A = this chain, B = another copy of it.
Amino acid sequence: MALKTYIEAVRDALREEMARDSSVFVLGEDVGVRGGVFRATLGLLEEFGAERVLDAPLAESAIVGVAIGASLYGMRPVAEIQFADFILPAVNQIISEAAKMRYRSNNDWYCPLVIRAPYGGGVHGGLYHSQSVEALFYHIPGLKVVAPATPYDVKGLLKAAIRDDDPVLFFEHKKCYRSIRGEVPEADYTVPIGTARVAREGTDITVISYGMTLHTVLEAANVVQGEGISAHVLDLRSLRPLDESAILEAAEKTGKVMIVHEDNKVGGVGAEVAALIAEKALFSLDAPVMRLAGPEVPAMPFNPDLEKEYVLTVPRMARAMRELARF
């Protein structure tokens, strides 16, 4: 095992999959000589050549649309959207085309396609380099959506996504890129899409999260542990399909559930998780299902004080955990 950063795990997964399978290639803005603005594709151009590491024109709908076409031909494109905020021009290609290809052709055509996009804030990105966009996609049948929190899961899920025969949106929290490190095996492995992971065992309250906030949740869990509150933490990892049984099991374990995400609350992933629990584990509940999420504003402001005000901090989470535990 080696200690790797989150972004190294992205890069390793890409390199290993490209070496393993000649139908894998990457395309996107600045992915070539620049190695991506976050350096996720660094070195790939040198190793695999310009044909398989394609600097695309600045046009996201074409990046996704061309990738769809290539995937129909049997390639396995990994498209990079430079910032998740800029996936919006490609929504039509993603939802009308990639998501519906297999269904509309009655299983005749399909898209083995991965779309990687750095999302999330807390990095002084301002309104348009900080957004969480997963809620626009986790609703859509035909898509798979993952949002890993650890380098281990990044590598295993990205490999699984590339080998998947259906379109996968792969959301990388950009604040994790360099701040999160973890053990990553040398040997080849995958993490199955659609499975959550218990990130912390606990008995008093259940906290469900994903991405960067998972780490804040774990920190806050340590804080309240000192006060005698034992938090059980579930990392969703996959947002579509959601791991229903893991969610219900975690909810039933403590009967007190809090869902945490950076994205704003209304209609966010937490809505579905809460609804699922209200539907299938209602009588295990000892407290209302709590959601701690970003505020109902369009995005995270650039000004650092406003940004801080937006972000869910350890103290805010710890406060919510205490409240839930006391209930």
A binding-site residues for B, Cβ under 8 Å = 61, 85, 88-89, 91-92, 95-96, 99-100, 103-104, 127-128, 135-136, 138-142, 240, 242, 264, 266-272, 274-275, 277-280, 282-283, 285, 287-291, 296-299
Is B288 within 8 A of A100, CB to CB?
no
A-B contact pairs, 25 of them (CB 8 A): A91-B136, A96-B128, A100-B127, A100-B298, A103-B298, A104-B127, A135-B267, A136-B136, A136-B139, A139-B267, A139-B268, A141-B266, A141-B297, A141-B298, A240-B266, A242-B266, A267-B267, A267-B269, A267-B271, A274-B275, A275-B289, A275-B291, A278-B278, A278-B288, A282-B285
Is A279 within 8 A of B290, CB to CB?
yes
**Provided the pairs A136-B139, A139-B266, A298-B99 are in contact, do residues A279 and B272 lie with their beta carbons within 8 angstroms?**
no
A296 contact from B104, B141, B266, B299, Cβ within 8 A: B141
Query: 8 smallest A-B Cβ distances: which pairs?
Result: A139-B267, A274-B275, A278-B278, A88-B92, A271-B271, A278-B289, A91-B91, A100-B298
A104 contact from B266, B291, B298, Cβ within 8 A: B298
Is A267 within 8 A of B138, CB to CB?
yes
17 new A-B contacts at CB < 8 Å, known A91-B136, A138-B266, A140-B298: A88-B92, A91-B92, A95-B136, A100-B127, A100-B299, A103-B297, A136-B136, A139-B267, A139-B268, A242-B266, A267-B271, A271-B271, A272-B275, A275-B278, A279-B290, A282-B285, A282-B287
Q: How far is the CA of A299 from the CA of B100 in the complex (A)?
A: 8
CB contacts (< 8 Å) of A100 on chain B: these are 127, 298-299
A288 contact from B85, B267, B279, Cβ within 8 A: B279
Query: Which of A85, A99, A103, A139 neighbours the largest number of chain B CB atoms within 10 Å of its CB?
Result: A139
Least CB distance from A296 to B in Å reads 5
**Provided the pairs A139-B267, A267-B135, A272-B266 are in contact, do residues A279 and B291 lie with their beta carbons within 8 angstroms?**
yes
